[in-house]
């Protein structure tokens, strides 16, 4: 019996979500038969549509209109809320830390893959400008925009 192909997408932001969405559509029959498994590892259960953050910050739209729930959109994918802390290409495994593994003290999980998509996104960077870290407001997440 042929083993199931495992696709791992690291990152559930714009690129990660649309990659998994496209794979989900293209591999619909294979997913139905169980020939393929798509796993998305991401720290948040939603994708933030960043172009709408200014409208959410101004109160023109509700913050819920700025996010896309990944489990609803990627209904044929396995969504793991956690962080890929390392990748071992030789063994084709990713080390993933989740809230559950931290609380249980079991250590991070190992996810095996056949194909890997890296789309971890970016983070706000604080430049070495006096006072910036203490007084600046980030504008990359919904929490920062409405906070």
pLDDT, position 101: 72
Residue 138 lies in a domain: no
Instruction: Report the pLDDT value the prediction gives residue 19, as an integer from 0 to 100.
Output: 98
Number of domains comprising the chain: 1
What's the domain range around 33? 5-121
What pTM was estimated for this model as a whole?
A: 0.88
Q: What is the mean pLDDT of residues 37-60?
A: 93
Q: What count of other Cβ atoms lies within 10 Å of the Cβ of residue 73?
A: 17
SS3 5: strand
- Mean pLDDT, to the nearest integer, of 123-142? 83
β partners of residue 82: 98
pLDDT of residue 105 exceeding 80: no
Q: Is 145 inside a domain boundary?
A: no
Where are the alpha helices (H) located in the chain, listed in sequence order?
14-26, 28-33, 53-58, 70-73, 99-104, 132-135, 142-146
Cβ proximity of 40 and 69 under 8 Å: no
CATH number for 40: 3.50.50.60
């Amino acid at each position: 019996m042929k083993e199931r192909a495992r696709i791992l997408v690291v990152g559930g932001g714009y690129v990660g979500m649309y990659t998994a969405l496209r794979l989900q559509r293209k591999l619909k029959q294979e997913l139905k038969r169980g020939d393929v498994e798509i796993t998305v590892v991401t720290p948040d259960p939603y994708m933030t549509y960043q172009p709408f953050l200014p409208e959410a910050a101004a109160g023109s739209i509700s913050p819920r209109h700025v996010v896309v729930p990944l489990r609803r959109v990627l209904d044929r994918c396995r969504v793991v809320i956690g962080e890929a802390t390392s990748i071992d290409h030789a063994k084709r495994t990713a080390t993933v830390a989740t809230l559950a593994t931290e609380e249980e003290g079991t250590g991070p999980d190992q996810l095996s893959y056949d194909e890997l998509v890296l789309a971890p996104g970016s983070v706000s960077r604080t430049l070495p400008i006096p006072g910036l870290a203490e007084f600046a407001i980030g504008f990359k997440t919904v929490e920062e925009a409405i906070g």
